[in-house]
């Protein structure tokens, strides 16, 4: 194996030897190939001949130890070859470098000569410079006197100019006043003010000062008038005016008020514009008509419950502009001008004042307080408008619009927050967003609930139209009984389809709602990182009040089917009960945990507060499923019971003819039971049943009346000892297993069928006990029971139950018989076979 | 009866008819009518001695047929009515009759109770409540707290009001009411209201409950679909004149205010099979006893809809099951295939 490794090494060596040799040299001089870092980490192996840690001693030892003589020889020749090639390479390189050294020496020598020439020229230059300096000093000495004179003259000139300015000031100010160049006037006055103040003891200056004061007062008045009158002037103009007044020492407080009141009027016009969006002006009758028409057409969709009493409850202005437009307008008009007002106000009264002399008078604090009050007031009105508008968003179709609108709303308020750090406005804005979000979640819950009820109505219709229910299915079921199970598929196949489509559509709806709600917590939404949206909204809002509430609603509405249907003769089709029961069961086993996991994943719910655990929801769903299934059993059982009861009650059992056939009603019972069996089998698993006794599958059944029953007749109805046997049978019954008739059933077909058959047969039994029979009446019951026995055992979990109940029925009818002469078992069998 | 052992009394035959004898004020006494197709039927007179916790019984023969309903006169403790089935010529006829117990039935019994079983005395027939036009009597109702002169019999779809004359030996129909409608209508149960001067009657047919004014024999109210299935029994609250309890095959017991028949004021769903019988306790109307073919008796304490909703500080709607003295008695009866009954006047609680 060593040879193999060596071979591969030599092959690669041959191919890239030159490159490598260069590489090795460069490595030696500390250079990398083209400045790059070496690609492979250096090998630490001391036996790597190319590695930096190469230890010849070790390598030699290793070779000696590991290689055979021939290999050593090969190695040696190879090594010698390599060394030789390395030597030659080195020689070439040395030659190359030698040439370069020679040329470098030449260059240096040339440079030495040139520098000597340059040095001479530099000496000459410095001599010239010294001469120039000398001359210049002499010139400035001669000009000194004239210079001082000129300076003095220019000083006098300036002073005179200033005096002239002062004397001309009143005239100039007047002119400015005429031209309405207030800014210039104020700046001129400011420049002169100090001087006039200083020299006011001189009468001439005093006159000027008085004149100026008079003019400036007039000016101030005029500016005030401008401020007051000019409602339409831009914010910038206004702030200019205010700045001028400030410079004129007008009282700042008054100015603040004026400024704010002016700003207020403009902001209010914005607000009114917004309000008009919400509530179209009722002045134009055409508009009113239009809106009335629109609202009447839109009324069934959802009448908005409006907070404002003035707004007629039905004029739904949501059709005017969508909410995004509205918020946009609010942001662009109101919020941006509010920001503008805040900035200019702060510029004027707060930042400005802090530097100037005003700071001492607590102006900034006062101004700040006023500003806060102002902003809070206006923002409150703005918020109320926004909230009204949000409340009108009833349609749950497109949530993204609302979220985007809220996002924009919230984002723009951040600007206010930045400008006005201590303000409560952003928090209020967040609260509005939160309220809107919770409201939205509520609406979604309603939408989900109504969707669920609608789909139930659809299912109900689907069940009703193709006659899936008992009557229609019974025909098919009867066919199935006689002709094999295939024909039973006909009508009720759509039951599982209905179930799957129902549960799928509910799930889809939940998913889409979750997706819509999820927009609230999207990363690019500004308010999504608020603690509320991170925590409480996810857990309490979405998980609890949306998902959990919906599941609870589902269970609860299912349970209501059991309660309402009982009294008024079963308004709910039994198939729907069965379907819902399966739905609830599916929810219990998988869907609930799936939905909740989905929610938790999507919303990264962190459960700070206690939330409804999955298990309790599952328990609730299971309870609902159980209740529905029990109710289904009860309803189906009662339908069959009713049939049996009528058949027993309406017949004259004393004067009946000798039985030749199984009564039609028994066939009907078997048919119905079969169809129910098919129906239940579509949705529920088979379930376990007790092992059949070997002869139960045989058509010619012999278990029940022949041996046991016959013996009992004989014992019971020999007139010799009536009381003893009666007592015996009573005691026997006391200790026999009690059958709970309307007991809870399990979630499988066999258990459901057992429940239904139990109820039916118990009814049969009770009805028989209320009648009196003749000989043939008893025989008819025998025939009927045998027929039932032939077909019903296959449906139940424990066939002994059917045996027992049928036994009881025959026994009771024998007891109620005037002339108890039971029919021969063989004859019964023949009649039943024929039927 | 807290620690007392249950008192059990066994009958030879199955029985469906039981009533308390309201005219007997000294003792707690029940009448039971048996059902046997092959032997002479009996009326058992059962005295319950609640001080010694023992039962005294007497047996009278009722040879006319098997007894489906029994009613004791409120005025004369020797007089009772029965509804019975009679077979003649392989035909089954339901009849009703007024009977008088032999005057000396009490004397022989104490000496040798065994004798009375072997050689029981026979009831004396006072009169038949038969009318050729109306057959199949379902039950006979005495005027509550009346003088024993008026009874109502329910036969098929007719309610007949009888006047008993000449110490009950003669009965004449004074007025009738007939239920009209589609199909074969048939009264299954009825109750004579003790309120309104005994001028009202409530009847049940199929799933409906109807109220009748006896002065005009016209219907005054009707609760359609009172129960999902057949209505088996009714009882009036003895203290609240508009309150009515009903029970039926839908396993429910419902309480109605007959002034508003849209909704029951209360529904109990404690039983798991048909409820055959419902009775108020005569003095404590919060106590309601129901009997069902699920082999259970349930005594319910319905304080919230009783006449004294705040009178007793008893837990509301507390249900006690099978604590009644008759429980064991009944349980045996339930297990033997006969059903009716439980009429608790003083016997219950």
State pLDDT tens for residues A599-638: 888 777 666 667 778 888 888 888 888 888 888 888 888 8
Does the distance separating the beta carbons of A772 and B225 come in below 8 Å? no
Which residue of A lies nearest to B276 if distances are taken between CA atoms? A766
Residue A736: which pLDDT band, with cuts at 50, 70 and 90?
A: low
Which residue of A lies nearest to B68 if distances are taken between CA atoms? A770
Which residue of A lies nearest to B92 if distances are taken between CA atoms? A654
Q: B8: distance to nearest CA of chain A, Å?
A: 14
A567, A655, A733 ranked by CB distance to B90: nearest? A655
A570, A642, A741 ranked by CB distance to B273: nearest? A741
pLDDT at site A743: 66
- The C-alpha atoms of residue B101 and residue A246 are separated, in whole angstroms, by 122
Provide the mean pLDDT of chain B: 77
CA distances from A375 to A52, A263, A274, B230 (A): 76, 11, 17, 75
Does the distance separating the beta carbons of A650 and B39 come in below 8 Å? no
Does the distance separating the beta carbons of B184 and A642 come in below 8 Å? no
| A482 or B60: which leads in pLDDT | B60
The answer to whether A559 touches A441, Cβ cutoff 8 Å, is no
A638, A730, A763 ranked by CB distance to B336: nearest? A730
B39, B229, B272 ranked by CB distance to A743: nearest? B272
pLDDT higher than 80, residue B94: yes
| A806 or A23: which leads in pLDDT | A806
- The C-alpha atoms of residue A662 and residue A424 are separated, in whole angstroms, by 87
Q: B168: distance to nearest CA of chain A, Å?
A: 30
CA distances from A399 to A329, A506, A517 (A): 19, 19, 7
pLDDT at site B329: 34
Which residues on chain A are in Cβ contact (under 8 Å) with B91? 654-655
Residue A739: which pLDDT band, with cuts at 50, 70 and 90?
A: low
Long-range own/partner contacts, residues A484-491 (CB < 8 A, 24 or more apart): A485/A678, A488/A674, A488/A675, A488/A678, A491/A466, A491/A467
Which residue of A lies nearest to B338 if distances are taken between CA atoms? A769
pLDDT higher than 50, residue A472: no
**Cβ neighbours of residue A95 under 8 Å, at least 6 residues apart?**
none
Rg (CA), chain B: 19
Which residue of B lies nearest to A758 if distances are taken between CA atoms? B273
Indicate the length of chain B as a whole number: 349
Does the distance separating the beta carbons of B12 and A741 come in below 8 Å? no
- The C-alpha atoms of residue B318 and residue B298 are separated, in whole angstroms, by 11
Which residues on chain A are in Cβ contact (under 8 Å) with B12? 722-723, 726
For A505-537, b/e burial (b = at least 16 CB within 10 A) is ebeebbeebbebbbbbbeeebbbbebebbbbbb
Interface confidence (ipTM) of the complex: 0.81
CA distances from A527 to A431, A434, A541 (A): 10, 9, 15
Does the distance separating the beta carbons of A741 and B294 come in below 8 Å? yes
Handedness of CA B11, B15, B20, B24 (dihedral sign): negative
- The C-alpha atoms of residue B91 and residue B340 are separated, in whole angstroms, by 24
Does the distance separating the beta carbons of A742 and B273 come in below 8 Å? yes
Interface-testing mutation among B117, B273, B333, with chain A (most A C-beta atoms within 10 A): B273
**pLDDT tens digits, one per residue of A818-834:** 888 888 888 888 888 87
Chain A residues with a Cβ under 8 Å from any Cβ in chain B: 566-570, 638, 641-642, 645, 650, 652, 654-655, 719, 722-723, 726-727, 730, 733-734, 738, 740-743, 762-763, 766, 769, 772, 774, 812, 815-818
**pLDDT tens digits, one per residue of A379-401:** 888 888 888 887 777 766 667 77
Tell me if the pTM is above 0.80.
no
pLDDT higher than 50, residue A201: yes
A566, A743, A769 ranked by CB distance to B250: nearest? A566
Which residues on chain B are in Cβ contact (under 8 Å) with A638? 228-229, 250
The answer to whether A492 touches A476, Cβ cutoff 8 Å, is yes
**pLDDT tens digits, one per residue of A651-690:** 888 888 888 888 888 889 999 999 888 888 888 887 776 6
pLDDT higher than 60, residue B248: yes
Does the distance separating the beta carbons of A816 and B272 come in below 8 Å? no
Q: A269: distance to nearest CA of chain B, Å?
A: 59
Based on the number of CB atoms within 10 Å of its own CB, is A120 exposed (0-12), middle (13-18) or buried (19 or more)?
exposed
pLDDT at site A154: 93
Which residues on chain B are in Cβ contact (under 8 Å) with A642? 229
pLDDT higher than 70, residue A65: yes
Interface-testing mutation among A741, A745, A770, with chain B (most B C-beta atoms within 10 A): A741
pLDDT higher than 80, residue A106: yes
Does the distance separating the beta carbons of B295 and A812 come in below 8 Å? no
**pLDDT tens digits, one per residue of A701-726:** 333 333 344 334 433 333 333 344 45
Which residue of B lies nearest to A762 if distances are taken between CA atoms? B273
- The C-alpha atoms of residue A626 and residue A581 are separated, in whole angstroms, by 7
Q: In this structure, what DSSP letter does residue A508 have?
A: H
Interface-testing mutation among A559, A769, A776, A809, with chain B (most B C-beta atoms within 10 A): A769
Does the distance separating the beta carbons of B293 and A738 come in below 8 Å? no
Residue B323: which pLDDT band, with cuts at 50, 70 and 90?
A: very low
Which residues on chain A are in Cβ contact (under 8 Å) with B67? none
pLDDT higher than 50, residue A60: yes
Helix H or strand E encompassing A418: helix A399-419
Which residues on chain B are in Cβ contact (under 8 Å) with A740? 272, 294
Upper half-sphere CA count for residue A618 (Cβ side, 13 Å): 13
Based on the number of CB atoms within 10 Å of its own CB, is A142 exposed (0-12), middle (13-18) or buried (19 or more)?
exposed
- Could you tell me what percent of chain A has a pLDDT over 90? 3
**Cβ neighbours of residue A607 under 8 Å, at least 6 residues apart?**
A539
Interface-testing mutation among A766, A767, A773, A813, with chain B (most B C-beta atoms within 10 A): A766
Mean pLDDT, rounded, for A48-53: 77
Does the distance separating the beta carbons of B38 and A719 come in below 8 Å? yes
pLDDT higher than 90, residue A266: no
- The C-alpha atoms of residue B232 and residue B271 are separated, in whole angstroms, by 14
Provide the mean pLDDT of chain A: 73
Look at residues A335, A292, A341 and name the one whose alpha carbon lies nearest to residue A313: A292
**Cβ neighbours of residue A241 under 8 Å, at least 6 residues apart?**
A182, A223, A226, A227
pLDDT at site B211: 92
pLDDT at site A607: 64
Mean pLDDT lowest among A126-130, A291-295, A778-782, B196-200: A291-295
Mean pLDDT lowest among A317-331, A807-821, B91-105: A317-331
**pLDDT tens digits, one per residue of B185-212:** 888 889 998 888 888 999 998 888 999 9
- The C-alpha atoms of residue B41 and residue B60 are separated, in whole angstroms, by 9
Residue B46: which pLDDT band, with cuts at 50, 70 and 90?
A: confident
pLDDT at site A25: 58
The sheet with strand B243-248 has its strands ordered as B231-236, B243-248, B253-257, B266-268
Q: Which H, E and C letters describe chain B, residue by residue?
A: CCCCCCCCCCCCCEEEEEEECCCCCCCEEEEEEEECCCCCEEEEEEEEECCCCEEEEEEEEECCCEEEEEEECCCCCCEEEEEEEEEECCEEEEEEEEEECCCCHHHHHHHCHHHHHHCCEECEEEEECCECCECCEEEEEECCCCCCCEEEEEECCEEEEEEEECCCCEEEEEEEEECCCCCCCCCCEEEECCCHHHCEEEEEECCEEEEEECCCCEEEEEECCCCCCCEEEEEECCCCCCEEEEEECCCCEEEEECCECCCCCEEECCCCCCEEEEEECCCCCCEEEEEECCCEEEEEECHHHCCCCCCCCCCCCCEEECCCCHHHHHHHHHHCCCCCCCCCCCCCC
pLDDT at site B105: 67
Mean pLDDT, rounded, for A166-185: 77
Give me the total of CB pairs closer than 8 Å, taking one residue from chain A and one from chain B.
73
Upper half-sphere CA count for residue A310 (Cβ side, 13 Å): 8
**pLDDT tens digits, one per residue of A502-521:** 888 888 888 888 888 887 77
């Amino acid at each position: 194996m060593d040879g193999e490794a060596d071979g591969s090494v030599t092959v690669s060596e041959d191919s890239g030897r030159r490159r490598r040799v260069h590489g090795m040299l460069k490595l030696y001089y500390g250079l990398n190939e083209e400045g790059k870092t070496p690609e492979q980490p250096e090998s630490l192996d001391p036996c790597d001949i190319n590695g930096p840690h190469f230890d010849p001693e070790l390598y030699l030892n290793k070779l000696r130890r590991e290689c055979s003589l021939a290999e050593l020889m090969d190695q040696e020749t190879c090594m010698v070859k390599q060394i030789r090639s390395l030597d030659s390479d080195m020689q070439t390189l040395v030659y190359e470098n030698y040439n370069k050294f020679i040329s470098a020496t030449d260059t240096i020598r040339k440079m030495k000569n040139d520098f000597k020439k340059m040095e001479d020229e530099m000496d000459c230059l410095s001599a010239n410079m010294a001469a120039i300096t000398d001359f210049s000093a002499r010139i400035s000495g001669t000009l000194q006197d004239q210079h001082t004179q000129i300076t003095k003259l220019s000083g006098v000139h300036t002073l005179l100019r200033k005096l002239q300015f002062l004397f001309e000031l009143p005239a100039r100010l007047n002119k400015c006043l005429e031209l309405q160049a207030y800014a210039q006037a104020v700046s001129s006055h400011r420049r002169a003010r100090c001087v006039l103040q200083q020299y006011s003891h001189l009468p001439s200056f005093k006159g000027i000062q008085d004149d100026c004061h008079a003019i400036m007062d007039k000016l101030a008045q005029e500016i005030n008038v401008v401020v007051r009158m000019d409602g339409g002037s831009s914010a910038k103009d206004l702030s200019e005016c205010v700045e001028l007044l400030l410079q004129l020492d007008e009282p700042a407080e008054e100015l603040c008020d004026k400024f704010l009141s002016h700003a207020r009027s403009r902001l209010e016009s914005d607000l009114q514009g917004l309000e008009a969006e919400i509530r179209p002006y009722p002045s134009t009758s055409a508009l009113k008509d239009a809106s009335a028409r629109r609202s009447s057409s839109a009324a069934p969709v959802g009448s908005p419950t409006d907070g404002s009493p003035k707004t007629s409850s039905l004029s739904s202005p949501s059709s005017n502009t969508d909410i995004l437009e509205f918020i946009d307008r609010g942001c662009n008009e109101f919020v941006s001008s509010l920001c503008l007002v805040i900035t200019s106000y702060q510029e004027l009264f707060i930042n400005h004042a802090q530097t100037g002399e005003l700071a001492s008078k607590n102006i900034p604090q006062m101004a700040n307080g006023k500003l806060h009050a102002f902003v809070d007031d206006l923002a409150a009105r703005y918020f109320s408008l926004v909230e009204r508008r949000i409340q009108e968003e009833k349609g749950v179709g497109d949530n993204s619009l609302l979220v985007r609108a809220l996002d924009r709303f919230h984002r723009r308020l951040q600007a206010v927050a930045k400008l006005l750090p201590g303000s409560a406005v952003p928090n209020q804005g967040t609260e509005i967003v939160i309220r809107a979000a919770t409201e939205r979640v509520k609406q979604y819950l309603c939408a989900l609930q109504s969707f669920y009820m609608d789909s139930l109505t659809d299912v109900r219709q689907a069940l009703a139209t193709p006659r899936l229910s008992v009557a229609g299915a019974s025909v098919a079921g009867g066919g199935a009984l006689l002709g094999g199970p295939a024909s039973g598929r006909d009508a009720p196949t759509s039951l599982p389809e209905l179930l799957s489509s129902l549960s799928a559509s509910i799930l889809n709806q939940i998913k889409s709602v979750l997706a819509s709600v999820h927009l609230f917590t999207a990363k690019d939404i500004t308010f999504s990182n608020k603690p509320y949206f991170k925590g409480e909204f996810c857990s309490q809002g979405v998980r609890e009040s949306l998902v959990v509430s919906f599941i609870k609603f589902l269970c609860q509405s299912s349970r209501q089917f059991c309660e309402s249907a009982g009294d008024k003769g079963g308004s709910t089709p039994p198939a729907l009960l069965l379907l819902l029961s399966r739905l609830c069961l599916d929810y219990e086993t998988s869907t609930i945990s799936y939905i909740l996991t989905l929610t938790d994943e999507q919303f990264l719910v962190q459960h700070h507060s206690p939330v409804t655990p999955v298990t309790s929801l599952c328990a609730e769903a299971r309870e609902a499923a159980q209740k529905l299934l029990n109710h289904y059993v009860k309803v189906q059982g009662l339908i069959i019971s009713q049939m049996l009861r009528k058949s027993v009650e309406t017949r004259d059992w004393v004067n009946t003819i000798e039985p030749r056939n199984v009564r039609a009603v028994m066939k009907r019972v078997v048919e119905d039971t079969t169809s129910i069996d098919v129906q239940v089998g579509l949705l529920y698993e088979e379930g376990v049943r007790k092992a059949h006794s070997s002869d139960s599958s045989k058509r010619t059944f012999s278990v029940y009346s022949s041996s046991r029953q016959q013996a009992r007749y004989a014992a019971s109805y020999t007139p010799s000892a009536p009381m003893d046997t009666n007592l015996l049978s009573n005691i026997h019954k006391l200790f026999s297993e009690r059958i709970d008739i309307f007991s809870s059933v399990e979630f499988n077909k066999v258990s459901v069928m057992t429940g239904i058959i139990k109820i039916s047969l118990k009814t049969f039994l009770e009805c028989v006990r209320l009648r009196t029979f003749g000989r043939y009446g008893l025989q008819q019951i025998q025939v009927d029971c045998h027929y039932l026995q032939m077909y019903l055992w296959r449906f139940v979990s424990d066939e002994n139950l059917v045996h027992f109940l049928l036994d009881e029925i025959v026994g009771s009818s024998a007891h109620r018989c005037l002339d108890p002469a039971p029919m021969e078992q063989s004859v019964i069998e023949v009649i039943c076979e024929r039927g | 009866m807290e620690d007392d052992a249950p008192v059990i009394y066994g009958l030879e035959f199955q029985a469906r008819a039981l009533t308390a004898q309201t005219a007997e004020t000294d003792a707690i006494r029940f009448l039971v009518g048996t059902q046997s197709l092959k032997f002479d039927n009996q009326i058992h007179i059962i005295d319950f001695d609640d001080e010694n916790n023992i039962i005294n019984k007497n047996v009278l023969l009722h040879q006319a047929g098997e007894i489906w309903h029994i009613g004791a006169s409120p005025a004369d403790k020797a007089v009772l009515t029965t509804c019975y089935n009679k077979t003649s010529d392989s035909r089954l006829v339901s009849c009703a009759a007024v009977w008088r117990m032999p005057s000396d039935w009490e004397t022989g019994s104490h000496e040798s109770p065994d004798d009375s079983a072997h050689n029981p005395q026979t009831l004396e027939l006072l009169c038949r409540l038969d009318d050729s036009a109306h057959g199949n009597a379902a039950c006979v109702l005495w005027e509550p707290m009346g003088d024993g002169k008026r009874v109502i019999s329910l036969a098929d779809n007719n309610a007949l009001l009888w006047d008993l004359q000449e110490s009950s030996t003669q009965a004449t129909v004074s007025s009738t009411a007939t239920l009209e409608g589609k199909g074969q209508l048939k009264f299954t149960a009825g109750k004579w209201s003790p309120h309104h001067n005994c001028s009202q009657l409530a009847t049940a047919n199929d799933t409906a409950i109807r109220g009748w004014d006896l002065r005009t024999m016209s219907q005054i109210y009707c609760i359609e679909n009172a129960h999902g299935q057949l209505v088996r029994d009714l009882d009036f609250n003895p203290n609240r004149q508009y309150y009515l309890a009903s029970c039926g095959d839908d396993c429910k017991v419902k309480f109605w205010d007959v002034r508003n028949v849209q909704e029951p004021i209360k529904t109990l769903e404690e039983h798991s099979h048909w409820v055959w019988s419902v009775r108020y306790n005569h003095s404590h109307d919060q106590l309601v006893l129901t009997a069902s073919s699920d082999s259970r008796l349930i005594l319910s304490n319905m304080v919230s809809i009783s006449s004294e909703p705040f009178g007793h500080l008893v837990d509301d709607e507390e249900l006690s099951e099978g604590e009644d003295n008759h429980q064991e008695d009944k349980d045996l009866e339930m297990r033997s295939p006969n059903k009716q009954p439980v009429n608790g006047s003083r016997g219950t609680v």
